[in-house]
Amino acid sequence: MTTVQQVTSHHWRVPAESFTVTTDDGVRIEGTRLGETGSGLPAVVLAHGLIGWHRKPRFAVFAEHLTPWFTVYAFDARGHGESDGVSDFGGAEIYDVDAVVDLARQGGHERLVTVGASMGGIAVIRHAALIGPPDLVVSISSLASWDWHAGADPAARRNFQARVNTAPGRAALRAWGVRLPEEWDEPEAPEDVIAKIAPTPIVIVHGQNDMLFSVEHARRLYEAAGDPKHLMIGNRFGHAEDGLSPGFARRLANVIYDETGLPWSG
């Protein structure tokens, strides 16, 4: 049966090659490598947020906008889209990130950067801290601790909870290819582990208009992180995908090249 997720999947407008990897804990992960092969560009491993997938149109278009400067390895996190398993809200997703990082390293890229939005932002922080850092980490719209609801807009909080904490909401998500756990063991929060990433640089990106995770989360992450670190607060930037514009792709590419010491040719 065709799911809503499949119907709303983006059709690539750049060179694209599908890949499959298996995580260290045995979960099959599906993804796509975007950009010209053998280009010698740095690699970006790109992780989406909860209730997303790598071919979700807005996220996929952002991935395409990064390809002038990077080879992009985008993937469906566990419990989402075409990948197996059940979502862990950024916990076990560190193994998904690591499996795709290993694949990208096999491609012989000079530099490798992990970039994640929302749940993906949680995952790339925890991956770099707990498994092994890439050359740079970029976390977009991540929470600092699991008490995210404390600073959330009430309407956004109610909408999120209705989608993930009720039977009708979960049934609707399954139709979108999103599988959530019945029970969840809370792992280490990003602000509790982010200091372990140093001396690998980290870029923390957040929107001033994020209604789900307040900008205070970004400030807490920045304070907890070791050097080198970079904080980007967008005035016209909402939560995660809301801020993934072509202009932001170019600004982010510029920051990544600067932080990794590569010559900028944009």
**pLDDT over 70, % of the chain:** 95
- CA 182 – CA 161 distance, rounded (Å): 14
- The rounded Cα 114 to chain-centroid distance in angstroms is 8
The closest of 2, 112, 5 to 48, measured between CA atoms, is: 5
- Write down the pTM of the prediction: 0.93
CA 112 to chain centre: 14
CATH number at residue 91: 3.40.50.1820
Number of domains observed in the structure of the chain:
1
Tell me if 265 is assigned to some domain.
Answer: no
User: In order along the chain (266 residues), what is the average pLDDT of each group of 10 residues?
Assistant: 54 96 98 88 96 94 97 98 96 98 93 97 98 95 86 76 82 86 91 97 94 93 97 89 92 93 74
Task: Write the pLDDT tens digit of every residue in 231-247.
Answer: 999 888 889 888 899 99
Q: Are 31 and 11 in contact (CB under 8 A)?
A: no
Query: CA-CA distance, 142 to 229, in Å (whole number)?
Result: 15
In a domain, 41, yes or no: yes
Could you list the residue range(s) of the whole structural domain that residue 79 is in?
A: 4-260
Q: Assess if residue 266 is contained within a domain.
A: no
